[in-house]
Chains A and B, each alone.
Chain A
Amino acid sequence: MRICMVTWEFPPRIVGGIARHCYGLSKALAKKGHEVHLVTLDFPGAPFYEEVDGVKVYRVKVELGHPNFIVWTLLFNHFMEKRIAMINRDVKLDLIHAHDWLTAPASISSKHYLGAPLISTVHSTEVGRAQGLRTPDSYLIDGFEWWLTYESKRVIVASNSMRYEIEEHFHVPSEKIDVIPNAIDIERFQRHVDRVQVRSKYGVGMDEKLILFIGRLVPQKGVEHMIKAVPDVVREHPEARFMIIGEGWSRGYLESLVASMSCGDKVRFVGFLPDQDLVDLTLSADVLVVPSSYEPFGIVALEGMAAGVPVVASNVGGLSEIIEHDKTGVLVYPRNPRSIAWGINRVLSDPAYSSRLIQNAKRKISEIYTWDAVAERTIKVYERSMGG
C-alpha cells in the first residue's frame, strides 16, 4: 500500500505523544513493506526531505504567516495539501491517514481530489483537553475535529474511553470506530545505564528517591496536583526528589507554585530533554507519576512500565485501561494530591510490592503494546476502508 501519513508533529518536532506515535506506526508499516509518505511541518535544523527507517519524510516549509493561530493552521494546511498533490504526481497514493484536527483541512481536500479513502486517528479532543469549550478558539477547534471524523471513512482511537467520548460528543457511529492502543519501542528501554552517573548528572544521589513526571506542562496533565502532593511524600520520605521534565504554557505558574512551598527545594524543573536523556532518566528513576486529569491514552505510562519503573497514575481515560491497580501499577484519584501522595508512598515504602508491579508490567507490555501489533491492526483498518 502507498500510504500518506499527515501530522503536524514528527521528530524532532516533538511535543506530546503524536510525534512518537506517528514515528512508531510509520516505521512499523514500512518494515512490513508498505510505502509510507509522511507529510509534516518544518523544524529548525531538520531537512525538508529525508528517509527515516524506511519512511519518506517531507517537511513542509510554511511560506506565509499570520498572528492568529487558526489562520496560521489553515495556511500550513494549504502548503501540506500542495505537497501531497506533488507526491501524488509521482506515486499514486492509496489512502490518507490524518492525525488530529490540525491537519484536517489538507487531509480532507486531498481525500476529495485524490479519490482516496481518509482514515483519521483522534488522539484527543478539544472538549477533553480544555475540560469544556470556553473560548471562540475552542469552538473552532471542536468544529474541525467533528469535520475530520465526519469526512473519515474510519476513525481510529487509542482507548475505549476515547471511543465513548467521540461517540457521545461528535455522534460518530460506533461501527465506524476502531480502537487500537498505542505502543512503544521496547528496545529503547532494554539497555544498561549507569544509574549513579545519570542521577549525579541531575544532582540526585543513590541514597535519594527519584520521582519523575514526564509530559507537557498544561493543566490536563495534572502536574499541579502532583506538586501539591510533595509535602505529604516528603514527610514520609525525606529522601524524595521530584523531577519535572517537559515544556508547556503552565510552566511559569507551576514554578511559582513550587517556589511558594516550604519543601520547594525537593522539586526541579528540567525542561525538554532529548530522547536519549529521557530514556536514561526513566531507567534511573524510582517512581513515574502520571497525574493527568484527562488522558485519552497515556503513552508515557507504557514507557515507565517498559523501563521497569513502578507507575503511579490517575484512574482516568486510557490510563485506567492500561494499568491494573495493584498488579501492573498504582491507580490514584485524579485531581487529588492526597491520593497521589498515598500512591507514591506506597511504592516507596514497599520494595517487594514495587518489584512485583514492575515484573507484571513488563510482561504485559511485551505481550500487547508493540508497534508490530499496532501496524497489523492498522493495516486491517486500511484494507477495510479500501473495500478489501
Chain B
Amino acid sequence: MSMNGEQIPDEIYFLCMLHNIGATMPEKSLSVDEISIWTAMDPSEVEVNLQKLVKSKYISVNTAEGTKRYYVTTDGIRKVLSMYS
C-alpha cells in the first residue's frame, strides 16, 4: 500500500492488522502462532515485524505460561489511526 508517493512500511501495515484484530490491551494479547494464523503470515516474518515494533514501543509484550504475547500500545493505536484519519 502506498500513500502520496511514500510507501507505508511493512511493519506499520502489520501493526494495523494487529490493531484491527483487536489485540489492543494486555488481556487481548496474542502469541506469535495466533498472530500468524490471523494474518496468514509466516511465523518468522511475524517475529521480524514484532521485533521492530517492540523496539519502537508500538507493541508491548507480556509473558503468560512461558509464552510471549503481544498487544498494540496506545502510541501504536495512534500510529494506526494516523493512516486513515
**Which residues of chain A have a CB within 8 Å of any CB of chain B?**
8-9, 13-16, 18, 43-45, 62, 64-69, 71-72, 100, 102, 129-131, 134-135, 137, 141, 216-220, 247-253, 271-272
A45, A217, A271: the one within 8 Å of B75 (CB): A271
Q: Which A-chain residue is minimally distant from B40 (CB atoms)?
A: A67
Q: Are A44 and B4 in contact (CB under 8 A)?
A: no
CB pair A16–B85 under 8 Å, yes or no, is: yes
Q: Are A217 and B82 touching (Cβ within 8 A)?
A: yes
| Chain A residues, CB < 8 A from B16 | 69
Question: Which residues on the B side are within 8 Å of A252 (C-beta)?
Answer: 9, 12, 56
CA of A345 to CA of B71 in the docked complex: distance in angstroms? 44
Q: Is the CB of B82 within 8 A of A137?
A: no
Knowing A15-B81, A16-B85, A218-B82 touch, does A67 contact B9 (C-beta < 8 A)?
no
CB of A249 within 8 A of CB of B2, answer no
Q: Give the complex CA separation of A64 and B82 in angstroms.
A: 21
Q: On chain B, which size bracket covers the interface?
A: 20 to 34
Within 8 A of A (CB), among B9-31: 9, 12, 16-17, 20-25
- Asked if B44 is at the interface (CB within 8 A of a chain A CB), the reply is no
Indicate if B63 sits at the interface (CB-CB under 8 A): no
Complex Cα distance, B79 from A14, in Å, reads 11
Number of A-B contacts (CB under 8 A): 92
* B6 partner residues in chain A, CB cutoff 8 A: 219, 250, 253
| Given known A-B contacts A69-B16, A247-B75, A250-B6, A44 and B81 have beta carbons under 8 A apart | no
* Chain A residue at minimum C-beta to C-beta distance from B21: A65
Query: B56 to chain A: which residues have CB within 8 Å?
Result: 252
Q: Are B79 and A247 in contact (CB under 8 A)?
A: yes
- Judge whether B77 and A102 touch: CB under 8 Å: no
With an 8 A cutoff between CB atoms, is B74 at the interface? yes
Enumerate chain A residues within 8 angstroms of B68, measured Cβ to Cβ: none
- Chain A residues, Cβ within 8 Å of B38: 67
Residue of B nearest to A293 (CB): B4
> In whole angstroms, how far apart are the Cα atoms of A18 and B78 in the complex?
13
Q: Mark B65-85, 1 if CB is under 8 A from A, else 0.
A: 000000000110111011111
The answer for the CA separation of A72 and B18 in the assembled complex, in Å, is: 11
Smallest Cβ-Cβ distance to A19: which chain B residue: B85
Task: Please give, as numbers and ranges, the residues of chain B lying within 8 Å of A248 by CB-CB distance.
Answer: 79, 82
Q: Could you tell me if B75 and A135 are in contact, using CB atoms closer than 8 angstroms?
A: no
Residues of A within 8 A of B9 (CB): 249, 252-253
Verify A218–B3 contact, CB threshold 8 A: yes
**8 closest A-B pairs by CB:** A65-B22, A219-B4, A72-B20, A248-B82, A67-B17, A15-B81, A65-B21, A247-B78
Which of these, B4, B23, B39, B82, contacts A216 with CB under 8 Å? B82
Which residue from chain B places its CB closest to the CB of A247 in the assembled complex?
B78
Given contacts A247-B78, A249-B9, A249-B79, contact A216 B85 (CB under 8 A): yes
Are B82 and A220 in touch, CB under 8 angstroms? Answer: no
Knowing A15-B81, A248-B79 touch, does A137 contact B1 (C-beta < 8 A)?
yes
Roughly how many angstroms separate A105 CA and B85 CA in the complex, as a whole number?
16
Residue of B nearest to A271 (CB): B75
How many Å lie between the Cα of A15 and that of B83 in the bound state?
10
| Chain B 36-65 interface residues, beta-carbon cutoff 8 Å to A | 38-39, 56
Please indicate the chain B residues that have their CB under 8 angstroms from the CB of A67 in the complex.
Answer: 17, 20-21, 38-39
Q: Are B74 and A44 in contact, CB atoms less than 8 angstroms apart?
A: yes
| B residues in contact with A271, CB < 8 Å | 75
B75 touches A249 (CB 8 A): no
Q: How far is the CB of B70 from chain A (nearest CB, A)?
A: 14
* Bound form: Cα–Cα A247–B77 in Å: 10
In the complex, the chain B residue whose C-beta lies closest to that of A9 is: B85
> What are 13 of the A-B contact pairs (CB < 8 Å)?
A8-B85, A44-B25, A44-B77, A65-B23, A67-B38, A68-B17, A69-B16, A129-B4, A217-B82, A218-B3, A250-B6, A252-B9, A253-B6
- Are A135 and B2 in contact (CB-based, < 8 A)? yes
Q: Which residue of B lies closest to A253 (CB)?
A: B6
Of A131, A141, A248, which is in contact with the most chain B CB atoms at under 10 Å from its CB? Answer: A248
Separation in Å of the B33 CB from the closest CB of chain A? 15
Residues from chain B with a CB closer than 8 A to the CB of A134 are 2-3
Q: Are A249 and B12 in contact (CB under 8 A)?
A: yes
A-B contacts besides A43-B74, A65-B21, 7 pairs, CB < 8 Å: A18-B85, A65-B20, A65-B22, A68-B17, A248-B82, A249-B12, A249-B83
